[in-house]
């Protein structure tokens, strides 16, 4: 068997496993968008059988044989072949290193833990949830030991979502970010315009859902989300699902928060345009997969924040927005609108956070995860550690666990090492944006004309077309010419929010 033949067969098997994964993904989308309330158990049974089938495809011993053949010194692979084999090896090892019994037990534990978390959050009862969370932590430790017994636990967990990422690297980046962000946030919050922004936001009322839906479809289409290869539905929690020619966004509407559905949809459309932009012929291999959670988040954040909170975007879409909601927006001046689309108002709840303080929520969670898996923080001590960090970073103390350690689903669902990608995504977005401003100084004028195609084309060429050939850090280096740094995020936030709230003075 020639190298080309072996690579072709490996590609076929990898793509087959990926296709089964997309079927599981569709079941998940359908569960959140369409599932009749009485069908949860039936859907769980479908997901369980699909998980078995997907695992069998991923752990197919034929994949192992082909990998051994292609990894041999004489195989003579080109760069694409090397990337395909490296990713296939990673997936195959992940599938084969975890014993089937462990995978099943972990899935059962996480399903139970999810429901226990939902009940505990409702009851604001951390003590009752603590033993369940401790079991989740234990399962995560054991999983890390199976996957890579030689590496520190938390590094293995980070690596699941962003290959190659280490706690030390994140700690350095987040430390620098935190140092600059906390004073910026404090200065803004103390400014008179921050009070004005809160007042304006509270005054938004009665934006009919149907017109909101029409507007955000117009916007996301114009930005470049292709509705011939995707759709938009309503779900309790917004998300993006699918890849290639079938990418599905969801949103939710609130009549008194018209920017929530809009910016949320632009965010999901950012994820969606990334998935639609991956090389179609290579879906499922390293040439056609996304580059991990942090890069994914950079694509959503760039469109949501750098683009859709900026002047060019609103220069173009503002008149249409006012046309759809004439009475609701009559009292809003252009200056008011700039504040409304870029508020700064620290809150205890991450998913309600503004663009500036959001990052501090992630710093907090990373810090706690690192200590939890480093061994110097016990599960029982989480609420107190949370409270202390929350006061330190946000200036706010949770009144109960529902505002603190129980607020997010992640730990309840067994997801550890996932949070950092949110903030890394913000850093990457800002660093890409900084590069964009260099190569396309007139980008805001593009937007003001309603032309978002240049930006999408640039992202297609530099990010989407690369697939998963590189890690997040390598990709950032290749595209921007420098190592990932929080400097660009801080500079961007200082520029946008400093000029909005602090009269242009840098803080």
Catalytic residues: 268
Is-contact 257 212, C-beta < 8 A? no
What token pair was written down for 370?
Answer: 């690192």
**230 touching a copy of itself, by CB under 8 A:** yes
Q: Binding a copy of itself by CB under 8 A: which of 4, 45, 195, 397?
A: 45
How far is it, in rounded angstroms, from Cα 343 to Cα 346?
10
How far is it, in rounded angstroms, from Cα 310 to Cα 445?
11
Q: Binding a copy of itself by CB under 8 A: which of 6, 20, 130, 423?
A: 20
**16 touching a copy of itself, by CB under 8 A:** yes
**226 touching a copy of itself, by CB under 8 A:** yes
**104 touching a copy of itself, by CB under 8 A:** no
**505 touching a copy of itself, by CB under 8 A:** no
**42 touching a copy of itself, by CB under 8 A:** yes
Q: Which of these segments, 39-47, 136-144, 154-162, 293-301, binds a copy of itself (CB under 8 A)? A: 39-47
The distance of closest approach from Cβ of residue 421 to a copy of itself in the complex, given in angstroms and rounded to an integer, is 26
How far is it, in rounded angstroms, from Cα 384 to Cα 404?
10
How far is it, in rounded angstroms, from Cα 156 to Cα 153?
5
The count of chain residues that interact with a copy of itself, using the rule CB under 8 A, is: 31
List Cβ neighbours of 293 (8 Å cut-off, separation of 6 or more): 161, 162, 418, 421, 425
- Over its C-alpha atoms, the chain yields an Rg (Å, rounded) of 23
**90 touching a copy of itself, by CB under 8 A:** no
Q: Closer to a copy of itself by CB, 249 or 266: give it.
A: 249
**326 touching a copy of itself, by CB under 8 A:** no
Is-contact 84 11, C-beta < 8 A? yes
Q: Binding a copy of itself by CB under 8 A: which of 3, 28, 32, 53?
A: 53
**41 touching a copy of itself, by CB under 8 A:** yes
Question: H-helix or E-strand containing 202?
Answer: helix 192-203
**323 touching a copy of itself, by CB under 8 A:** no
Residue-wise burial string across 42-69, b where 16 or more C-beta atoms lie within 10 A, e elsewhere? eeeebbeebeeebbebbbbeebbebbeb
**CB-neighbour burial class of residue 198 (10 A; exposed 0-12, middle 13-18, buried 19+):** middle
Q: Which of these segments, 137-145, 238-246, 310-318, 320-328, binds a copy of itself (CB under 8 A)? A: 238-246
How far is it, in rounded angstroms, from Cα 243 to Cα 290?
9
**127 touching a copy of itself, by CB under 8 A:** no
**39 touching a copy of itself, by CB under 8 A:** yes
Residues numbered 240-279 forming contacts with a copy of itself, rule: CB under 8 A? 244-246
String of DSSP letters for 19-34 = HHHHHHHHHHHHHHHT
The distance of closest approach from Cβ of residue 311 to a copy of itself in the complex, given in angstroms and rounded to an integer, is 33
How far is it, in rounded angstroms, from Cα 173 to Cα 424?
9
What token pair was written down for 266?
Answer: 């632009």
Residues numbered 333-392 forming contacts with a copy of itself, rule: CB under 8 A? none
Query: CA 251 → CA 17, 229, 248, 260, 307, distances in Å?
Result: 29, 17, 10, 9, 19
Q: Closer to a copy of itself by CB, 42 or 72: give it.
A: 42
**484 touching a copy of itself, by CB under 8 A:** no
**27 touching a copy of itself, by CB under 8 A:** yes
What token pair was written down for 326?
Answer: 């004439």
Q: Binding a copy of itself by CB under 8 A: which of 1, 4, 8, 23?
A: 23
The distance of closest approach from Cβ of residue 258 to a copy of itself in the complex, given in angstroms and rounded to an integer, is 25
Q: Binding a copy of itself by CB under 8 A: which of 3, 32, 46, 96?
A: 46
Q: Binding a copy of itself by CB under 8 A: which of 228, 327, 376, 503?
A: 228
Backbone angles phi, psi at 230, to 5 degrees: -175, 180
The distance of closest approach from Cβ of residue 269 to a copy of itself in the complex, given in angstroms and rounded to an integer, is 14
The distance of closest approach from Cβ of residue 210 to a copy of itself in the complex, given in angstroms and rounded to an integer, is 13
Q: Collapsing DSSP states into helix, strand and coil, what is residue 233? A: strand
Pairing of β 246-251 and β 240-243: antiparallel
Q: Closer to a copy of itself by CB, 225 or 418: give it.
A: 225
Q: Closer to a copy of itself by CB, 245 or 483: give it.
A: 245
**49 touching a copy of itself, by CB under 8 A:** yes
Helix then strand then coil, in percent of the chain rounded to 5, is 70, 5, 25
What does the binding site for a copy of itself look like in residue numbers (CB under 8 A)?
A: 16, 19-20, 22-23, 26-27, 30, 34-39, 41-43, 45-46, 49-50, 53, 226-231, 244-246
């Amino acid at each position: 068997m020639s190298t080309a033949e072996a690579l072709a067969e490996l590609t076929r098997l990898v793509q087959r496993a990926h296709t089964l994964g997309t079927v599981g993904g569709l079941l998940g989308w359908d569960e959140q968008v369409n599932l009749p309330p009485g069908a949860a158990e039936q859907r769980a049974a479908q997901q369980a059988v699909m998980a078995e089938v997907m695992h069998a495809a991923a752990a197919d011993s034929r994949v192992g044989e082909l990998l051994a053949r292609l990894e041999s010194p004489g195989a003579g692979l080109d760069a694409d072949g090397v990337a395909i084999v490296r990713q296939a090896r990673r997936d195959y090892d992940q599938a084969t290193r975890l014993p089937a019994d462990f995978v099943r037990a972990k899935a059962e534990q996480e399903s139970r833990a999810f429901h226990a978390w939902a009940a505990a959050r409702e009851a604001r009862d951390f003590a009752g949830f603590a033993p369940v969370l401790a079991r989740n932590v234990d399962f995560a430790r054991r999983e890390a030991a199976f996957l890579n017994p030689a590496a520190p636990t938390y590094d293995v967990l980070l690596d699941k979502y962003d290959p190659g990422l280490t706690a030390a690297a994140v700690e350095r980046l987040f430390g620098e970010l935190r140092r600059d962000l906390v004073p910026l946030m404090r200065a803004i919050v103390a400014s008179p315009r921050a009070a004005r922004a809160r007042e304006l936001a509270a005054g938004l009322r009665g934006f009919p859902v149907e017109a909101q839906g029409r507007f955000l479809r117009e916007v996301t289409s114009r930005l470049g989300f292709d509705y011939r290869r995707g759709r938009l539905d309503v779900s309790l929690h917004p998300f993006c699902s699918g890849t290639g020619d079938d990418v599905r966004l969801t949103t939710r509407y609130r009549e008194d928060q018209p920017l929530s559905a809009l910016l949320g949809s632009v965010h999901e459309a950012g994820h969606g345009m990334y998935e639609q932009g991956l090389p179609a012929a290579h879906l499922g291999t390293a040439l056609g997969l996304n580059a991990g959670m942090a890069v994914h988040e950079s694509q959503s954040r760039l469109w949501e924040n750098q683009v859709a909170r900026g002047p060019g975007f609103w220069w173009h879409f503002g008149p249409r927005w006012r046309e759809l909601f004439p009475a609701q927006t009559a009292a809003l001046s252009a200056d008011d609108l700039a504040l409304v689309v870029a508020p700064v108002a620290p809150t205890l709840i991450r998913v309600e956070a503004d663009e500036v303080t959001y990052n501090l929520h992630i710093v907090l969670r990373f810090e706690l995860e690192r200590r939890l898996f480093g061994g110097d923080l016990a599960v029982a001590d989480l609420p107190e550690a949370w409270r202390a960090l929350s006061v330190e970073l946000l200036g706010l103390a949770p009144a109960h666990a529902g505002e603190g350690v129980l607020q997010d689903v992640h730990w309840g669902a067994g997801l550890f090492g996932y949070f950092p990608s949110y903030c890394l995504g913000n850093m990457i977005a800002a660093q890409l944006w900084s590069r964009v401003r260099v190569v396309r100084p007139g980008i805001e004028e593009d937007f003001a004309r309603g032309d978002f195609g240049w930006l999408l084309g640039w992202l297609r060429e530099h990010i989407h077309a690369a697939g998963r050939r590189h890690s997040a850090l390598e990709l950032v280096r290749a595209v921007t010419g420098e190592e990932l740094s929080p400097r660009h995020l801080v500079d961007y936030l200082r520029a946008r929010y400093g000029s909005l709230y602090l009269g242009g003075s840098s803080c």
